[in-house]
Every structure is written in C-alpha cells, then in structure tokens.
Structure 1
C-alpha cells in the first residue's frame, strides 16, 4: 500500500531503527492504532489487547494516563509490546512530570527498545478521576519535542550535559485541526516540525472538509515534504458515545449529521454503522494530499480497529521491516 507519491526530505537526524519510520520513508500508507490501557498489574492484560491488533496495524500507541485517568504507564506498556515483537509508539505528557523525569523516561524508553514517541500536553486533571492532582507543566509539549530532539541529535540533556549514548527516536507530536482559531493550527504544527517532530498524529477527524482545509494550509507553509501527517479516525460504537464526544470532550468536533446517523440506527446495529462511518472517513482522508496514514481509535474496542482496517482495504500490512536512515525522513 503506497501513499500518494510524496516523501519528506532528509533532515540532519540520527538513525532510527523504527519500522514505522521506514515504512513512511518508503512511501507506504501506514496504519497505527491506540491500545486501550490496562487497569492491571498483570502483563497479560496488556498483551491480550495488543494481540488483537497484531498484523492489522504497523504500530500501536501506548497512552499516558489518557483522559487523566490512571492506567498502566505508557513506558511499561510499550516495553511489554517490544517483548512480544510488536512496535509501540510511546505517548509522554508534560502534565505529570518535570524536566528531569521526562528526560529520564525518554532515556529509559530508548534503553528498553522503544523507538517511536509521541509527545503531548495531556488531558487536564479535571477531566479525570483525580481532579485534585497537581499539574506539573514544568515545560510545555513544544519544548519537550525540542528536548527529545536534543537527546537524539546532539546527545545532550537539556542542561547541556553530554550523554554517553544518544537515543534513536522517531519523534511524534499531536495537533488539533479543529481548535479555533483554525488559521493558527498549521503555524503551531510548523513550530513543532522546527522543534524536531518527524510525524504528527492529529485529533480525531470527523469533519473531512475542515481537515482538508487544514492540510491545504499546511501545504501552503511548505510542510508536506518535512513531516508525516497521520489523521486520527475514531470508530464510534454507539450513538450515546458519539453524543458524549460531541458534548463532553474538549477540542473535539463531531458533526450533528454523524450523531443523527447513529441515532437513527437500531441500537443493535450501531457498532456496525460506526465501523462503516470510520471506513468512509478513512477513504476520504486518503484522497487528501499529504496524508501519510491513519491512526485508528476504538475505545476499549481493538476488534473494531481490525474490522475497519479490513473493510477499508488496509490489509494485509507490509511484512518487511525497513529501517529509517535519518530520523525517519527519506
């Protein structure tokens, strides 16, 4: 499966043995997915969910207390995936750690075989079940991208102290094409690319025209040959879930037409209709210049991810393991 004839150019980046980076450099249309984080100290709980995705996606996001709810750490989950021969993308937020802890976790992840990282702010603690938790935000997500790039490219901590061995990271960040002012979002993305981001995973895309406009503005900034952009596609399992996302999830844009479509579907068939909606969204974003893949999210529903990948013609996934020679850019 090959993307539409574009490849970001090489930058001054250290080698990354990330399979995800290699696929993107090779022009493949990639598929990533979010793993529902376990509420268990038993590694089997993580492995069971991850095994559902084996062969249907190229890499798997391990979330960092998503929704500000406590789960198994993203570092531990990512390492568990490495142990089973699966490729993780470790998410890391600035919400819960200061700059020392962030750098320590990045170095630890590299030592445990994690090569793909996505760096972000994190959902506010008021969204979760520990609203009294203290927010850290010692540095912001943009600065964290710079920190990771410094570890990788210069082999130094933020303090300037030298590492004995630099990590090899394929660095990701996030962007929300739907947060106002819309004209500002591509400029934020540009800053993240300049900071060192190799790829971007977006907020959930339910409104394709707005996302297409965002991508056009990104193209006007000359960024499509500098970063891989992977839109997130949600798989709504029910009308109730879709309405909850529309009304309760900050920064998420869910059109009324999508909610209405699910509400007009019999309850027993809403999950199937949600899969059809996701397949339609995948097909639509694939036509937009600069889209390098899709990130599929089925909340506590890895089986839904597999259904969408199959129905959207995204299978089989490539079986070879190319290597990225320069930080994931080719």
Structure 2
C-alpha cells in the first residue's frame, strides 16, 4: 500500500438527460463522506452527459472529480478532443476503461486503453498542452488476474467489483504495483439486480446465499457494502475504495454515518 490517506471515491449515476440536478443531489448527500467523485462514461452502454462535463461540475462545488473515458466510443481524434476539453475545464484525473457493451451499434474504432495511456503521456511535450499540469491517469483491474505490465504505467488503479474481501486482498498482495489502488465495492439494490449482474459479467462471483438474503431483505445490499468498506480500510491493503452506490446513495450515506465514517481533510 502506498503512503496515502485512505480515501473513499464515490461513483455518481450519470444523467441520461441534459439535467445535472440528480448529480448535484448525489454530491450533496455523499460529500461529507467522499474524498472524490467519479463520473462514468456512457454508463452500461447508454448515452449520458459527458463524464468530463460532470467531473467539471463536481469540481465546481469544491470536491475532486474524476472523469471516466472508455475506448469503445472514441477514435484517436475524439480522444484528443476530450483531452483538450479536460484541460480547458481543469479536470486533471481520469480513468481509462474499455467500456460496457453498447445497447445498440458497434465500437467506434480500434482505440485501446493502452493507446490512450500512451497518447496522454505523449502530449505532455506538445505546444497545445504547454503549461498544463500532467493528467493523472487510472485504469481498471480484475481481481484474480495479474496486472499487465503496461497498466503499471498508470498513476492509480481501480479494481473491479468483488464481493470477497479476502479475494481482493490476496490479489493485491500478489501485485508489484506500488501506486494507489482502490478496491471496487458495489451496492446491490435487489436480488433481481444481483442475478442480472451475475449473468452479464461472469467474472463477478455473487454467492447464491447473498442473492437469497437480498430476496428477503433489500437492505442487505447497503449493509454489506458498508461492511466491505470498513473491512477494506481496516485491512491496510488498499489506499481506498471505489464505491458504486447507485440508486441507494441516500441509504449508503446513512450507513456510513452510522459507522462514524468521515472523509479525510481536504487541503
């Protein structure tokens, strides 16, 4: 674990309409707990307001924002446009991912996450970015799989969601990466959501017993997520948590309050 204060990065639900009111509500509810907010990019394959615009909105209210950019929906020119936009808005932190399967249509191009990292490093010497502080770039990692060497060039790593704290701890101990790593924690809103997720993403192991508990009591999803956050912090194995609360963000805030959670001081 790198020497950083343990942080809670909360993911917001991005708007699918030209209205940022719901984003602002999520920030207001979770800002007393969150050290930063992450804005997804075309969440679950649906068109959403630009993650860079959402991250800029987050920054405007005095909370660090992180913009997620997927390789699926861009070519190189479109990616350069996004980097210029991020620089103009002062959005310094980004996460590069492959992207969820689109609900319609196909991938835009053969742009890859690796190529995105290489490009963001290359532009440092371009006149257009002269005087602009370097971007901080994060990538996603799958617990159970070794972190590829090229991903070690990233400034930070977010692990994909796991419902087993021992599993992600074993994975972390096996990696030589010395930058900040944030463990993924997802709030399951219902047994139906858990079943859909397990069918759509085979790599995510959701125990039958957990799905049955959710069928009897939907509050279990929030309780388990808050417990995972505590366990990961107490383990000392990670620099923070990437928490996806979804529609249960109010209940998550209440759960964190009950556990005495507070964000680290902002300098």
TM-score by length of 2: 0.90
Query: Is the 2:45–2:101 contact (alpha carbons within 8 Å) kept by the matching residues of 1?
Result: yes
1:135 paired residue among 94, 107, 110: 107
Cα shift at 1:93:
0.6
- Structure 1 position 242 matched with structure 2 position 189: no
**Aligned equivalent of 1:324:** none
In the TM superposition, what are the counterparts of 1:106-255 in structure 2 within 5 Å?
Answer: 106-125=83-102, 128=103, 131=104, 133-151=105-123, 154-156=124-126, 163-177=129-143, 182=144, 185-188=145-148, 190-193=149-152, 196-218=153-175, 222-223=176-177, 226-255=178-207
Query: Is the 1:215–1:289 contact (alpha carbons within 8 Å) kept by the matching residues of 2?
Result: no
Cα shift at 1:287:
4.3
Q: Relative to structure 2, which stretch is displaced further, 138-147 or 112-121? A: 138-147
- Structure 1 position 93 matched with structure 2 position 70: yes
**Aligned equivalent of 2:245:** 298
Query: Is the 1:275–1:307 contact (alpha carbons within 8 Å) kept by the matching residues of 2?
Result: no
Greater length-normalized contact order (CA 8 Å, ≥ 6 residues apart): 1
Cα shift at 1:59:
0.6
Cα shift at 1:282:
1.9
Q: CA separation in 2, counterparts of 1:276 and 1:70?
A: 31
Query: Is the 2:187–2:225 contact (alpha carbons within 8 Å) kept by the matching residues of 1?
Result: yes
Decide whether aligned partners of structure 1 residues 141 and 47 sit closer, same or farther in structure 2, where only a CA change above 3 A counts: same
Q: CA separation in 1, counterparts of 2:236 and 2:29?
A: 31
**Aligned equivalent of 2:264:** 318
Q: CA separation in 1, counterparts of 2:190 and 2:71?
A: 32
